[in-house]
Amino acid sequence: MIALETLQETLAALGAPRYRATQVYQALTRELVTSFAAISTLPAELRRDLAAQLEPVLLDAVEVRVSPRGDTRKTLFRARDGEPVEAVLMVYRERATVCVSTQVGCAVRCAFCASGAAGLRRDLSAEEMVDQVLHFARLLRDDDRRVTNVVFMGMGEPFLNYDETLRACRLLNDPAGIGLAARAISVSTAGVVPAIARYAAEPLQLNLAVSLHAATDELRDRLVPLNRRYPLTKLMAACAAYVAKTRRKLFFEWVVLPGVNDGDDQVAALGKLLRKPLYHLNLIAYNETGGEFASPTAGELAAFRAKIERARIACTVRRSPGGEIDAACGQLALRRVSPGGAPVASAAGADQ
């Protein structure tokens, strides 16, 4: 992916007419070409000059895992500096959602999440984020389909790489390029409070998901260490302000950890936090990554869901197919369709 401004600057320096930048940008974002050589409408010399200066694709796919049903595909890429980047495609009947990584590793170190285990290695650029989407867009095109939703729920904390994440959202949304609707884009945060206010003020109508996982500070301090900096009162105040300002539905994520965050005390506390208009809870079955936590059984998940519903909290169960294709690293939270084929749910916010 190359931003239009970068193309404009480079082409201006090469003395090419201005319309060439738009031509190349549209070839990259709409025709989904992966090299300048493939843009047949460009003079050969310009193709060579561009290739000497810019790289149209920044990530190479090096490993792919596909779920047994074929509806979830996880791809490991390598960036130009060799760093690993993961993204997931989830195909539904009507939709195709790409789950994008925003960083290599993560600084937040949630107790149950594999991404933080090695700490943060580096931020990804907006172009590297968009390249994850374009990779799957090319695959889908072979089946006459397209990417309908993007969720920033892969590796990393998007709000600790705020500027590049938002630039990626704008690149995805750009009507002159990829043209994905803002309401089809969701960003998920572990709760970086100042960034929530900033996000609420963005002109784009993007979706927000907040990874809650615990409804008391005592437990959340343990599961999401960021809570010590931004405790629940501050987080929930930022959420209330977000909804007041945007009037948009706000999604909360809850990774179900049996014996840890599925007790009656948590449900009671959660009821007080979430029984509000426009608040919606997404339950995610924990996908084991080799640590101290266990995945819920189907019975445990159903029992917790029943408790949540009795507490009159609006909720949806999002299923995680991690055991099938994610076993070796478990760094990405995956969501998929139900065994019957109907979408149980999408990743947070993607279908709303």
Pairwise CA distance, residues 21 & 103, whole Å = 29
Footprint of ligand SAH (CB under 6 A): 108, 110, 112-113, 153, 157, 188-190, 211, 253, 255, 284, 286-287, 289, 320, 322, 330, 333
Compute the least distance from the CB of residue 352 to ligand SAH, in Å: 16
206: number of Cβ within 10 Å = 25
The pairing of strands 149-152 and 96-99 is parallel
Distance CA 224, CA 66 (A): 30
The H-or-E segment that residue 76 falls in is: strand 72-79
315 is catalytic: no
Distance from C-alpha of 152 to C-alpha of 134, rounded to nearest angstrom: 14
Beta carbon nearer to ligand SAH, 27 or 285: 285
Residue 45 among the catalytic residues: no
Nearer to ligand SAH, 266 or 289 (CB): 289
Q: Helices H, strands E: what count in the chain?
A: 11, 12
Block residue for tokens 């709760």 = 191
Residue in 99, 110, 315, 329 annotated catalytic: 329
Considering the complex, state which of residue 174 and residue 288 has its C-beta at the smaller distance from ligand SAH.
288
Minimum gap (Å) between residue 127 Cβ and ligand SAH: 20
Among the listed residues 86, 128, 157, 164, the single catalytic one is 86
CB of 86 to ligand SAH, least distance (A): 11
Pull the structure tokens for residue 217. Answer: 């500070």
User: How crowded is residue 33: how many other Cβ atoms within 10 Å of its Cβ?
Assistant: 18
CA distances, 227 to each of 30, 115, 179, 193, 234 (Å): 41, 18, 36, 10, 9
Please identify, using beta-carbon distances, which residue of 4 and 196 lies nearer to ligand SAH: 196
Q: How many CB atoms lie within 10 A of CB 322?
A: 27
Shortest CB 189 distance to ligand SAH, Å = 5
Comparing CB distances to ligand SAH, the nearer of 3 and 329 is 329
Which residue is nearest to ligand SAH, using beta carbons?
333
Q: How far is the CB of 199 from ligand SAH (least distance, A)?
A: 13
Q: Which residues are catalytic?
A: 86, 329
